[in-house]
């Protein structure tokens, strides 16, 4: 609301004041709904598309903070904003569209924020909530007046099955970030009559890779990028997950909850004091030279109390060892250093969530969508890794990925790494 209108209203009696507010709200709603009629032509988007269309435009009223009595989960206050949903049409008609959402606050601070996804993406990032690792009570970016936007990255579903389509893979890798950005800029221009003075990107994990990707591929579009835990070596992360999943699926190779507890305790025993303070935090994780042999069971025939058999120690090694990918002639075409041991392994968000889950990958492995992470209780990593090998690399939804041999796929792995990894 401008100062001029405010000054004018202060001179009016209360009844007329109500009428003026209603009129202004009506104008804001009309301006929002008018965006539904807009279409974005291919030249307005710097990478090839068949243009974008708006599928929904509605004014969302301001909402106060709420707390879910069942979960105690707090949803912070949101301001009045215009919610725009739409689709960017692919060039290849068999590729999925990029679905996006742009949120235009009535009280705009003149700036914009693009938010990234997670895992394999596959759901529209609404961008109406908190940024990554934001304090619980920090007002949402939208509430602070940013025009925010996000997308589903050009496919639906949090698995890699989209990757059998080249345009969908390129969209996921990087192109959708630019296409979504350019489309959102056209929508912002239509609503406010000008482009943002500053544009930022927030993302975590896969969204962090997206942030590093825009910084490397489209640096002129952004004034700042904020990322946490960026999965920059994405293809490697996914292939490594399959290596871990393979070790866990071998006979006797699975790690139990007791194993993980014992491992976490041993890490703290060996490395907590490296930083000079016994506080359960391995501050000097680079100095943690963890010796796993201390976890070996004394009586291999009767492992108990979380001790590790030799097969389980091999699994632990497989989870952390360096990656060396060789082609069919034995030449190394890609390598990555080992993972670090640094505390937090036994937290619920540690190995249990990311690597082991409740059960190993089943053998034989069910095909495609039947490989359901939740139903089968597979760790996130082995699930993602299986999906990566099947769809990103081999394009075979029925492939059993345990002990997958990448050698025949060296060319494809190299191409996928070039597309997906933020290492330009
Ligand atoms: Ca410490």
pLDDT band at 113 (very low <50, low <70, confident <90, very high): very high
Taking only the tens place, the pLDDT of each residue in 260-280 is: 999 999 999 999 999 999 999
pTM of the shown model: 0.91
Q: How far is the CA of 261 from the centre of ligand 1 (A)?
A: 18
pLDDT band at 424 (very low <50, low <70, confident <90, very high): confident
Q: What is the pLDDT of residue 305?
A: 81
Q: Which residues sit opposite 63 in a β-bridge?
A: 78
At residue 1 the predicted structure's pLDDT band, cuts being 50, 70 and 90, is very low
Residue with tokens 């999925």: 96
Which helix (H) or strand (E) segment holds residue 58: the answer is: strand 52-60
Burial (CB < 10 A; 0-12, 13-18, 19+), residue 412, is: middle
Give me ligand 1 centre to Cα 263, in Å.
16
Average pLDDT over residues 215-227: 98
Q: Which two three-digit tokens encode residue 68?
A: 């879910």
| Residue of 192, 199, 193 lying closest to 226 (CA atoms) | 199
**Torsion of Cα atoms, 70 then 71 then 77 then 83, to 10°:** -90
Of the candidates 334, 301, 317, 306, the one whose C-alpha atom is nearest the C-alpha of residue 247 is: 317
> Six-digit token pair at 304?
């108990």
Interior angle at CA 262, CA 261 and CA 267, nearest 5: 100
Average pLDDT over residues 14-32: 78
pLDDT value of position 4: 53
| Region class of 406: left (phi > 0), else alpha (psi between -120 and 50), else beta | alpha
Collapsing DSSP to helix, strand or coil, 56 comes out as strand
Query: How far apart are the C-alpha atoms of 202 and 179, rounded to whole Å?
Result: 17
Say what the pLDDT of residue 343 is.
80
Checking if the pLDDT of 129 tops 50, the result is: yes
- Protein residues with C-beta less than 5 angstroms from the ion ligand 1: 272, 275, 277, 279, 281
- pLDDT of amino acid 169: 98
**Which pLDDT tens digit goes with each residue over 301-352?**
666 789 999 999 999 999 999 988 889 899 998 888 899 998 889 999 999 9
Q: How far is the CA of 46 from the centre of ligand 1 (A)?
A: 49
Which has more pLDDT, 320 or 25? 320
Neighbours of 58 (CB within 10 A): 14
Q: How close is the Cα of 131 to the center of ligand 1, in Å?
A: 29
CA of 273 to the centre of ligand 1 (A): 5
Output the average pLDDT for the chain: 93
pLDDT recorded at residue 21: 72
CA of 268 to the centre of ligand 1 (A): 8
CATH number of 25-66+73-231: 3.40.50
- pLDDT above 90 (res 25): no
Q: Where does residue 116 fall: left (phi above 0), alpha (psi -120 to 50 degrees), or beta otherwise?
A: beta
Tokens of 109: 């601070």
Which residues in 89-167 belong to E strands, given as ranges? 98-105, 111-115, 147-151
pLDDT tens digit sequence for 343-379:
889 999 999 999 999 999 999 999 998 999 999 999 9
More confident position, 68 or 343: 68
Confidence grade of residue 420 (pLDDT, cut at 50, 70, 90)? very high
Q: Where are the domains of the chain?
A: 25-66+73-231, 235-420
């Amino acid at each position: 609301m401008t100062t001029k209108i405010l000054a004018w209203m202060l001179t009016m009696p209360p009844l007329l004041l109500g009428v003026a507010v209603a009129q202004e709200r009506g104008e804001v709603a009309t301006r929002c709904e008018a965006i539904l009629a807009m279409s974005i032509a291919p030249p307005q988007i710097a990478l090839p598309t068949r243009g974008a269309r708006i599928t929904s435009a509605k004014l969302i009223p301001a909402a106060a903070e709420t707390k879910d009595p069942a979960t105690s989960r707090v949803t912070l206050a949101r301001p009045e904003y215009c919610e725009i949903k739409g689709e960017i049409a692919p060039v290849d008609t068999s590729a999925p569209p990029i679905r996006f959402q742009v949120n235009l606050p009535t009280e705009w601070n003149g700036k914009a924020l693009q938010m990234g996804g997670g895992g394999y993406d596959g759901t529209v990032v609404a961008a109406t909530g908190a940024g990554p690792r934001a304090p619980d009570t920090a007002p949402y970016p939208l509430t602070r007046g940013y025009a925010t936007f996000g997308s589903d990255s050009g496919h639906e579903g949090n698995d890699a099955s989209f990757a059998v389509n080249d345009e969908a893979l390129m969209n996921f890798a990087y192109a959708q970030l630019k296409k979504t950005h350019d489309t959102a800029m056209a929508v912002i221009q239509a609503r406010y009559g000008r482009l943002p003075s500053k544009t930022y990107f927030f993302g975590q994990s896969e969204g962090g890779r997206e942030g590093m990707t825009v910084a490397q591929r489209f640096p002129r579009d952004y004034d700042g990028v904020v990322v946490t835990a960026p999965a920059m070596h994405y293809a490697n992360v996914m292939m490594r997950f399959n290596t871990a999943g393979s070790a866990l699926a071998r006979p006797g190779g699975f790690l139990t909850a007791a194993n993980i507890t014992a491992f976490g305790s041993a890490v703290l025993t060996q490395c907590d004091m490296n930083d000079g303070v016994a506080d359960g935090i391995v501050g000097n994780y680079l100095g943690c030279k963890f010796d796993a042999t201390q976890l070996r069971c004394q009586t291999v025939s009767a492992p108990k109390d979380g001790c590790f058999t030799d097969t389980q120690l091999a699994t632990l090694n497989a989870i952390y060892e360096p990656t060396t990918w060789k082609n069919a002639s034995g030449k190394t075409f890609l390598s990555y250093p080992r993972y670090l041991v640094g505390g937090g392994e036994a937290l619920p968000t540690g190995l249990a969530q990311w690597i082991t889950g409740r059960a190993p990958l089943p053998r034989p492995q069910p095909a495609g969508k039947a490989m359901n992470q939740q139903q089968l209780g597979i760790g996130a990593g082995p699930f993602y890794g299986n999906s990566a090998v099947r769809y990103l690399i081999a394009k075979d939804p029925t492939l059993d990925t345990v002990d997958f041999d990448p050698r025949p796929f060296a060319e494809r792995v190299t191409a996928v790494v070039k597309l997906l990894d933020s290492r330009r």
